[in-house]
Structure 1
Amino acid sequence: MTSILTNTSAMSALQTLRNINTNLADTQDRVSSGFRVGEAADNVAYWSISTTMNSDNKALNAASDALGVGAAKVDTAYAAMESAIDVVNEIKAKLVTATETSTDKDQIQLEIGKLQEQLSSIGQAASFSGENWMVASASASNTTVVDGFVRNDDGTVKVTTAEYKVGSYALFESVTDGVGTGGILGSVMGIKLTSASTAGDISGYLDQVETALSEMTIAGAALGALSTRIDLQDDFANKLSDSLEAGVSRLVDADMEEESAKLSALQTQQQLAIQSLSIANSSSQNILTLFQ
């Protein structure tokens, strides 16, 4: 039966066209944005996971920035420690020279005094962003540097840190009026040769220097180990960040080859649906021939 009031063919063709237009709009949105899941309505599970992972990745990048600041502090402290070791070795050499009875010990002390001033200068200058690991009280708390960001199994998050025993490894406890006191180099700063200094005195000074060098070597090793850890953590953080980005991409990014193929197919379907709707609408006009 053909009805001029209800055209079921046109209704069916119109519904098909609406569905095609909706799918076409979705595909065009994916092509233009590059996202398969751009909002929660697209896929609640994937959107939730990707949002959390993106948040963690930003926190990880922030931790990497903080890691860079920590690396700068370690590099500054290590450079100071390395320079101080070189200067103390020079003092050691001067003391060995002073063991010769014919040497002018007052002149040697003049050189040692300048080297001691250099040690104070090194300790005072080893500051980064207002923090100096080379000048600190023996009772100072361990300093920390941020080295990572992790999400625990229970969903809680934590910023991880690495410690450095600044109180134990400081060259000086304080530097007053350009003169360092206390710390690893406290005894070295007390060396003072005179023409009356005996071989026993010089031997005692050499023992003090050796003790200081041994402690500085331990401190330098601690800084070196911390620097290595920071470098490894920085490399790991970069790889982890890339992995997180890749994981999010697999969840929410659109497959452009697939979407391109869909777009072409839907555009063809749209044209056919429009043609089909046109045919359905014209069928009712054929009723007029029955009244001729």
Structure 2
Amino acid sequence: MSSILTNASAMTALQSLNATNKNLATTQSRISTGMRVAQASDNAAYWSIASTMRSDNQAMGTIKEALGLGAAQVDIAYTAMDKVKQTLDTLKSKLVTASQPNIDKSKIQSEIKELQNDLKTYAESASFSGGNWLSVDKSSTAKVVASFLRGADGSISLGTIDVDTAKTALFNRDANQAGLLEKGAALTAASGAGIAIYTGAATPVAGTVGADTLPGTADDTAATATFGAHANFALDGNDAISFEVTLNGGTSKTIRIDRDTITAAGLANGAVTSAAEMATVMTQALKSAGLDSKVAASVAGGALVLTTTEKGPNATIAVANGASSDNGNFVDATSIDITAATSGQLSQYLQGVENMLSAVTTAASDLGAIKTRIGSQQTFVKDLMSAVDRGVGALVDADMNEESTRLQALQVQQQLGIQSLSIANGSAQQIMSLFRG
């Protein structure tokens, strides 16, 4: 049936053309934006996931910048620490030179003074963006932001690389915490470390050592030095005890006891729990100082006793200059003055610089490890951001090959739809011919 009121063919052709135009508009939008899901109406789930991932990726971009700042801070600290190590090496050489007989110590001291000024300059110059890990007002934990974390429940947090400035500070203005180049505080029984060496007094005196110079009185008598009653103690990795022993009125030798000494003596956890164990530790310390063939350690009446192997009226032993330190240093690197130093003091200075060198080397190694970790984290964050970009792309990016093919097909369909609608409308015109005379 033909009708001038309802043209079913035209309606069908129009619907088909509208559908083609809609699909064509969608394809053209994907081609122009490059995105298959450009807004929530395209695919709500994919759009939501992609938006969250893009936000996280932007945060990781900030993390990458923070890692760059952290890397710069570590690099500056490491560079200064390395210069400090070189300066300590030179200072050590000067002390060795000063130990030679008939040397003008005042001239060497003038060189040492310049080296000491260098040590301060290097530490104070190791500053970046207001932060300095080598010269601090107070020890703290410096944090380098290293990662952005999103939990399964949607919660977010930041991962950090922590740097304990107590382990890197060369100079610390906090009265309770000495730097690596500063004299440590004396150990006390109250601190939990205890004191290993005491005066002969009934009550232990923290941080002091004392003994009489006792000459032998007969050909078969050795000289002895008796310490006070022993008390249990334990040293941590930084604690140390030092005193000088002078035999037969000769050159003084510095005796040092630290956790390594206790471990070498076969004891665990840096703890000495009896006078007998203290004698074992002292024997190890004497061996390290090269005095084990001249002095023997033993126990008498619960007290430590040092006895000379030489006997007779010329045999003497003197113990003096006892001290303890919570960071292993018994002198400030910047206060060493050898102008009128005795051989014993030079030996103590030399040992002190050697201990500082060891501490600075360890700190530099720690900074190097942190620098390596930051570099690895930078690479990881960069790779992770690329992976997130690829993941977002897989969700929302348009396949341009597919879209271009679809565009060609839809353009043909559009042309055919227009032609079909034209034909359908033409059928109504044919009805008019029926009414012509």
TM-score (norm 1): 0.95
Amino acid at match of 2:407: L
Amino acid at match of 1:47: W
For 1:1-292, list aligned pairs within 5 A. Answer: 1-137=1-137, 139-174=138-173, 182-186=178-182, 187-194=332-339, 196-292=340-436
Query: What do you get for the CA RMSD once the two structures are aligned?
Result: 1.4
CA contact (8 A) 1:99 1:202 kept: yes
Alpha-carbon deviations, 1:32-54, whole Å to 9, x = none? 11010000000011101100000
How much has 1:146 moved relative to structure 2? 0.7
Question: 2: CA distance between counterparts of 1:265 and 1:109?
Answer: 92
Amino acid at match of 2:426: S
Paired residue secondary structure (1:50): helix
How much has 1:99 moved relative to structure 2? 1.1
For CA contacts below 8 A with separation 6 or more, give which structure has more relative contact order: 1
Question: 1: CA distance between counterparts of 2:419 and 2:99?
Answer: 109
Extract unaligned runs of 5+ from structure 2: 183-331
Paired residue secondary structure (1:164): strand
CA contact (8 A) 1:77 1:133 kept: yes
Question: 2: CA distance between counterparts of 1:217 and 1:17?
Answer: 80
Question: 2: CA distance between counterparts of 1:253 and 1:101?
Answer: 82
Further displaced range: 182-191 or 72-81:
182-191
CA contact (8 A) 1:126 1:133 kept: yes
Paired residue secondary structure (1:216): helix
Question: 2: CA distance between counterparts of 1:169 and 1:282?
Answer: 92
How much has 1:215 moved relative to structure 2? 1.0
TM-score (norm 2): 0.64
Question: 1: CA distance between counterparts of 2:92 and 2:153?
Answer: 57
Paired residue secondary structure (2:42): coil
Alpha-carbon deviations, 1:38-91, whole Å to 9, x = none? 000000111011000000000001011011111111111111111000001100
CA contact (8 A) 1:53 1:244 kept: yes
Paired residue secondary structure (1:56): helix
Question: 2: CA distance between counterparts of 1:36 and 1:277?
Answer: 31
Question: 1: CA distance between counterparts of 2:89 and 2:359?
Answer: 13
Paired residue secondary structure (1:87): helix
Paired residue secondary structure (1:183): coil
CA contact (8 A) 2:139 2:172 kept: no
Paired residue secondary structure (1:170): coil
Alpha-carbon deviations, 1:112-152, whole Å to 9, x = none? 00000000111111100111111124x52211111111111
Question: 2: CA distance between counterparts of 1:174 and 1:51?
Answer: 49
Report the equivalent of 1:178: none
CA contact (8 A) 1:172 1:183 kept: yes
Paired residue secondary structure (2:370): helix
Alpha-carbon deviations, 1:185-219, whole Å to 9, x = none? 1221121011x322211110011101111111111
Paired residue secondary structure (1:159): strand
Question: 1: CA distance between counterparts of 2:141 and 2:5?
Answer: 88
Paired residue secondary structure (1:260): helix
CA 1:116–1:182: 2 relative to 1, 3 Å: farther
Alpha-carbon deviations, 1:250-288, whole Å to 9, x = none? 111110000000000000000000000000001012223
CA contact (8 A) 1:145 1:162 kept: yes
CA contact (8 A) 1:60 1:148 kept: yes
Question: 2: CA distance between counterparts of 1:7 and 1:53?
Answer: 52
Alpha-carbon deviations, 1:154-187, whole Å to 9, x = none? 1111111111110232010149xxxxx9511122
Further displaced range: 53-62 or 280-289:
280-289
Question: 2: CA distance between counterparts of 1:86 and 1:51?
Answer: 53
Q: Give the number of the structure whose residues are more often strand, by fraction.
A: 2
Extract unaligned runs of 5+ from structure 1: 176-180
Question: 1: CA distance between counterparts of 2:143 and 2:435?
Answer: 96
Amino acid at match of 1:244: V
The alignment covers a number of residue pairs equal to 285
Of structures 1 and 2, the larger Rg is shown by 2
Work out the percentage of aligned pairs sharing the same amino acid.
Answer: 49
Report the equivalent of 2:244: none
Amino acid at match of 1:271: Q
Amino acid at match of 2:393: S
